[in-house]
């Protein structure tokens, strides 16, 4: 039973007349002051956590990006040198390009597959909840395990690699293919793993969106002679605008900062073919031990976040603070 169902069931029996009495009992200004005190007290643990472990580290990150901090040496202020270095660094340009290719390809695939999944589930007439739960499985599985799984799926060695095993067994290949040995193959493999992890979330979100579109709209369109394609284009897609925007922006933010899938599957290789922001930042900070530069790499993503977050909060905050 959902929270709303419980609430509406119990709400029926609740004395709503009590509400006015509650407000009369305490003068409004005193009540508000008391509530502010309580609120501050309740929010205190959150503020401690946020200031100590998010805001302060973030401030340290900004400071570090202006230094040439090497592990074992004191940090020296170098101004914008890290930023200028990266702006002129060929590897970093590759990293930016890879991050965008990885993110855009994953998001496009997830939107397409998610729509298809939602349409299929929407048309399912029995056991819809069962199938919805089953198809959500990749989304709750550990990303590390998903990355390992797809590493074995694409493995060049037939005993471990699913595609090589099956294709060789079916006689479609004469010798195994090393899918992840080429730059394009490695990029395709990490995109597939990311897509597989993410599309069920899109599908379930779009299904919820489709279920909230009033059926009368479809009936009216049918009466007016609109076919299935036009009903999808003129009713379903506009009805999903909100949820599509939210899922796309959310996933864009989390995919462009992805670390797990790429680190586990390719470590950014072959060469720098799949190196993205987070893996390159890790590589520079923890393998080359250049912390100042490593931090600067991740700070390059911040303007993008600042641009995208207001877009999202406009949609998401409405339902939380209203």
Partner 1 sequence: MTAWKAATIAGLVGFCLVVLVPFWWIASMSFKTYEQIQFAQSIYVPRPFTWENYTGLWLDTRFPLWLRNSAITAVVVTAITTVISCLSGYAVARLRFPGRESVASLILILYLVPPALLFIPLYRVLAELGATNSLWSLFLSYPTFTVPFCTWLLIGFFKALPVELEEAAMVDGATRTQALLRVLLPLAAPGIVASAIFAFTLSWNEFLYALIFIQDETMTTVPVGLNLLIYGDVFHWGQLMAASVITTVPVVALYMFIHRWMVEGLAAGGVKG
Residue with smaller CB distance to partner 1, 91 or 143? 143
Mark 98-132 as b/e (b = at least 16 C-beta within 10 Å). bbeebbebbbebbbebbbebbbebbeeeeeeeeeb
Contacting partner 1 (CB under 8 A), which of 68, 167, 213, 257?
257
Q: Is 200 in the site for partner 1 (CB under 8 A)?
A: yes
Site track 12-31 with partner 1 (rule: CB under 8 A), x = hit: --xxx-xx-xx--x------
Measured on CA atoms in the order 165, 110, 134, 214, is the torsion positive or negative?
negative
Q: Which stretch binds partner 1 (CB under 8 A): 8-16, 82-90, 178-186, 231-239?
A: 8-16
Judge whether 146 and 153 are in contact, CB under 8 Å. no
Q: Taking the complex as a whole, how short is the minimal distance between the CB of residue 197 and partner 1, in angstroms?
A: 8
Q: Enumerate residues 75-134 that contact partner 1 by CB under 8 A.
A: 110, 116-117, 119-120, 123-125, 129, 131-134
Residue with smaller CB distance to partner 1, 166 or 181? 166
d(CA 239, CA 217): 10
Q: Is 282 in the site for partner 1 (CB under 8 A)?
A: yes
Residue with smaller CB distance to partner 1, 179 or 282? 282
Contacting partner 1 (CB under 8 A), which of 74, 224, 303, 320?
320
Judge whether 266 and 283 are in contact, CB under 8 Å. no
106: Cα within 13 Å, side-chain hemisphere? 34
Q: Is 73 in the site for partner 1 (CB under 8 A)?
A: no
Q: Is 174 in the site for partner 1 (CB under 8 A)?
A: no
Strand partners, 70: 290
Read off the DSSP letter of residue 181.
G
Contacting partner 1 (CB under 8 A), which of 30, 42, 223, 307?
42
HEC readout, 265-284: HCCCCCCCCCCCHHHHHHHH
């Amino acid at each position: 039973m959902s929270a709303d169902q419980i609430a509406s069931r119990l709400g029926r029996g609740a004395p709503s007349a009590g509400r006015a009495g509650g407000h009369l009992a305490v003068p409004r200004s005193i009540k508000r002051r008391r509530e502010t005190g309580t609120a501050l007290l309740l929010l205190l643990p959150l503020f401690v956590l946020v200031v100590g472990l998010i805001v302060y580290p973030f401030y340290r990150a900004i400071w570090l990006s202006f230094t040439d901090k090497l592990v074992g040496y004191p940090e020296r202020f170098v101004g914008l040198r890290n930023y200028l270095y990266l702006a002129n660094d060929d590897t970093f340009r590759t990293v930016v390009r890879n991050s965008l290719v990885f993110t855009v390809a994953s998001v496009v695939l997830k939107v397409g597959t998610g729509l298809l999944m939602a349409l299929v589930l929407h048309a399912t007439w029995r056991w819809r909840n069962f199938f919805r739960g089953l198809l959500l499985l990749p989304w709750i599985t550990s990303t590390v395990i998903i990355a390992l799984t797809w590493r074995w799926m694409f493995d060049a060695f037939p005993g471990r690699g699913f595609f090589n095993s099956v294709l060789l067994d079916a006689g479609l290949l004469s010798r195994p293919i090393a899918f992840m040995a080429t730059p394009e193959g490695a990029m395709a493999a990490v995109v597939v793993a990311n897509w597989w992890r993410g599309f069920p979330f899109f599908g379930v979100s779009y299904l919820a969106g489709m279920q909230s579109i009033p059926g009368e709209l479809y009936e009216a369109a049918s009466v007016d002679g609109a076919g299935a394609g036009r009903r999808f284009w003129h009713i379903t897609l506009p009805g999903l605008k909100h949820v599509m925007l939210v899922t796309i922006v959310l996933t864009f933010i989390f995919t462009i900062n992805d670390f797990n899938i790429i680190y586990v599957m390719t470590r950014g290789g072959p060469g720098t073919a799949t190196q993205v922001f987070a893996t390159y930042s890790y590589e520079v900070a923890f393998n080359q031990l250049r912390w100042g530069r490593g931090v600067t790499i991740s700070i390059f993503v911040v303007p993008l976040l600042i641009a995208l977050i207001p877009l999202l909060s406009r949609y998401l905050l409405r339902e939380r603070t209203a």
